[in-house]
Structure formats: C-alpha cells, structure tokens
C-alpha cells in the first residue's frame, strides 16, 4: 500500500457530499480523518517508553515526514508522521493541510485551510480512540462554539454513514451504564460495566494505547467516585521473543477481597482472572507496572504477596 493506492481506495469509497463548497471540502477532510483513524494507532513504544526511547522515535518520525509511502505501511505512528500523512492525503483531494508549530512537548497536529481561507484545527492522534470506538470526536474544530461544532460534525458523520444517528455514539451506551450502576458496590459495578457487550462493539482493530485510553476514560466517566479508591486500572505487558512488548490493561475492584480482570486481545474483551492466574502469568513474563505512576499495579502486587503468605502459612499447619 502506498499513498497513490490508498488515495484511489478512499476516492472510490467516498460518498458524494452536499452543501456549500466549504462544507463539501470539510466533509471530505472529515471523511479522510475518520478513514485514516481507523487504520492507524499510536505507537506503544513511544507511549510507554522512556524519554530516550521517545526521543529516538520522534527523530525517526521527523526523518520520515516527507516520505508518506513509508509512513502508510506503518500501523503504529506518532503525531509527527500522522500529521504529515493526513496533510499529504488532503493535498491529494485538492485541500491544503499544514502542521502546527510544536508545543512544549513536541506535539504537533494538522491545520486544514479551506479554499475560503478558514483554518480548522484538528488532532487525529488524540481522536484515534474516539474514531475506533465510534465515540464523539473531540478534536475536529470546524466551528468555534463546541455545541454547534458537535451538532455539525454529527450531521456530517450521519451523511457519510459512519453513524446512523446520535444514539449510535458509544457515549450513549456509557451514559446508560452510568445510570445502571448507580448505588452498586465496587464488585457489582465493575462486573456490570465489563460485561456490557456495547463497550466491545467495534473494538476489533484497537491496539494497546487506544484500548488503555478508551477503557480507563470509560471508567472515569461511569465510576469516578470509585476510580483509584475502590476500582483500579493499569497497564501491563509481556515481552515477545523479538524483544517488543505486548501491552494490555488490568482492572480490579476492591471490597473485602478483590476481583481482577485482564483485557484479552484474542477475545477482544475483559476476562475474569484470580490471583493464582496472575501469579502464573507473572512467571510466564507478565509485568504489572508498564507505567510507574499507576497506583493499582503496586496495590495488586501487595495483595498477591499477602495471598501467597496466607497459602504458605496454611500449608504449614
């Protein structure tokens, strides 16, 4: 796959849009935003990596920014390569896109300039997880007023067939779950959330970073009063034979005991596991603290150690 082929593919599948010339140009840009967002994911090595690893990946992305054919082949990319790839696609469709100046962290995003001279700030990297879960976009700023912008974007997404109506957004399922778990204790609330099939719809191609961001944000929205108090979520990984790390998410709730769930990339959902299974997986290479600042990993490790000591003392009776 190269830029020419993916351009042909997008042109073939892009619907005819209605509206003023500016509206049609924005709809094309939004269509490309969605379609590109479906097939790219944020680089896990950068997201979880050390500052030195991030520096190297960023430098490589800078070297490749003028080579869209190379970037097209990569599933995992960062803001630099994704921004320039999107701008190259816009050019293929007769629009103009430029990269924003880098912020203090080096992050950049695309700026669409329409033929009428309107500048539209967008950030595909920050919307990847939204696109892949059919959630409301947060970083396609066509209209200054946020509410008006959401209404306009929703109408465009319906027109291009991305959603059927406003109820089709994943945000609506999350709202329903928020009401459903009100008054529940941590164990029951977490089980109810993680058993809801609507949370898993459309997640077939999500990678580690998008999985982590979506499900942690979902918990923040549904059980903010429990998160990092009675319900914990943290990233973990297993190292593959080639040295790369395969990341996933662990979630657990705490009452008199704990209930643990691991996200399975094979099953594409959270599966219930016990402390014995976690210990077994640790022996096979599972590392519980992919990110040092996450509270839950240390708490779970301490709980597992206590369980081991209990078992040992009981076996000695």
Q: What is the pLDDT of residues 154-169, one digit of tens each?
A: 999 999 999 999 999 9
Judged against a pLDDT cut of 60, whether residue 317 lies above it is answered with: no
Same domain for 200 and 69, yes or no, is no
For residue 8, what is the DSSP state? H
pLDDT of residue 41: 96
How many domains does the structure of the chain reveal? 2
Same domain for 92 and 160, yes or no, is yes
The answer to whether the Cα torsion of 33, 35, 36, 37 is positive or negative is: positive
* Segment 62-89 mean pLDDT: 93
pLDDT of residue 243: 81
Within the chain, residue ranges assigned H as helices are 3-13, 21-39, 44-48, 51-64, 68-72, 79-92, 124-132, 146-159, 170-180, 186-194, 208-222, 275-283, 295-315
Final residue belonging to a domain, choices 148, 164, 180: 164
| pLDDT tens by residue, 300-312 | 988 988 887 877 6
* Segment 241-252 mean pLDDT: 90
Query: If you average pLDDT over every residue of the chain, what do you get?
Result: 93
Judged against a pLDDT cut of 90, whether residue 10 lies above it is answered with: yes
Determine the structural domain holding residue 301 and report its residue range: 170-315
Q: Which of 291, 273, 129, 253 is nearest to 199 (CA)?
A: 129
Judged against a pLDDT cut of 60, whether residue 232 lies above it is answered with: yes
pLDDT of residue 316: 58
Percent of the chain with pLDDT over 70: 98
The answer to whether the Cα torsion of 42, 48, 51, 52 is positive or negative is: negative
| pLDDT tens by residue, 161-204 | 999 999 999 999 999 999 999 999 999 999 999 999 999 988 88
Same domain for 101 and 229, yes or no, is no
Contact of 215 with 250, CB cutoff 8 Å: no
Strand-strand pairing, 76-77 and 286-287: unpaired
pLDDT of residue 241: 83
Q: In this structure, what token pair is assigned to residue 206?
A: 């999500």
pTM score, whole prediction? 0.92
Same domain for 191 and 300, yes or no, is yes
CATH number for 9: 3.10.620
Judged against a pLDDT cut of 90, whether residue 84 lies above it is answered with: yes
Same domain for 227 and 247, yes or no, is yes
| pLDDT tens by residue, 87-98 | 999 999 999 999
Same domain for 119 and 251, yes or no, is no
Same domain for 237 and 121, yes or no, is no
Same domain for 45 and 144, yes or no, is yes
pLDDT of residue 314: 65
pLDDT of residue 315: 63
Same domain for 118 and 247, yes or no, is no
Same domain for 78 and 177, yes or no, is no
* Segment 136-150 mean pLDDT: 96
Final residue belonging to a domain, choices 164, 185, 206: 164
Same domain for 177 and 267, yes or no, is yes
Judged against a pLDDT cut of 70, whether residue 313 lies above it is answered with: no
Q: Strands of 110-113's sheet, edge to edge? A: 96-99, 110-113, 119-122, 140-141
Judged against a pLDDT cut of 90, whether residue 272 lies above it is answered with: yes
Strand-strand pairing, 245-254 and 41-42: unpaired
Final residue belonging to a domain, choices 164, 186, 212: 164
Same domain for 247 and 204, yes or no, is yes
């Amino acid at each position: 796959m190269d830029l020419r082929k993916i351009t042909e593919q997008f042109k073939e599948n892009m619907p005819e849009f209605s509206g003023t010339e500016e509206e049609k140009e924005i709809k094309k840009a939004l269509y490309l935003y969605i379609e590109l967002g479906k097939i790219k994911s944020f680089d896990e090595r950068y997201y979880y990596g050390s500052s030195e690893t991030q520096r190297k990946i960023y430098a490589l992305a800078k070297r490749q920014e003028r080579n869209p054919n190379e970037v097209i082949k990569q599933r995992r990319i960062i803001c630099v390569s994704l921004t320039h790839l999107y701008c190259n696609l816009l050019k293929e469709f007769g629009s103009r896109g430029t990269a924003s100046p880098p912020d203090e962290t080096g992050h950049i995003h695309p700026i669409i300039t329409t033929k009428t001279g309107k500048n539209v700030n967008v950030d595909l990297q920050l919307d990847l997880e939204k696109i892949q879960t059919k959630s409301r976009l947060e970083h396609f700023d066509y209209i200054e007023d946020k509410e008006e912008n959401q209404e306009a974007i929703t109408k465009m997404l319906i027109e291009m067939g991305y959603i059927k109506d406003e109820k089709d957004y994943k945000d609506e399922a999350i709202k329903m779950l928020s009401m459903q778990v009100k008054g529940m204790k941590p164990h029951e609330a977490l089980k109810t959330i993680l058993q809801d099939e609507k949370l898993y719809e459309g997640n077939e191609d999500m990678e580690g970073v998008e999985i982590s961001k979506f499900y942690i944000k979902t918990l923040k929205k549904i059980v903010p009063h429990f998160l990092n108090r009675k319900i914990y979520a943290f990233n973990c990984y297993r190292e593959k034979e080639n040295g790369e790390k395969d990341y996933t998410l662990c979630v657990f709730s705490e009452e008199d005991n704990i209930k643990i769930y691991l996200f399975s990339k094979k099953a594409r959902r959270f599966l219930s596991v016990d402390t014995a299974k976690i210990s077994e997986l640790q022996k096979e290479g599972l590392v519980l603290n992919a990110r040092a600042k996450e509270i839950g990993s240390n708490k779970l490790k301490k709980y597992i150690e206590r369980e081991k000591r209990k078992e040992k003392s009981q076996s000695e009776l």
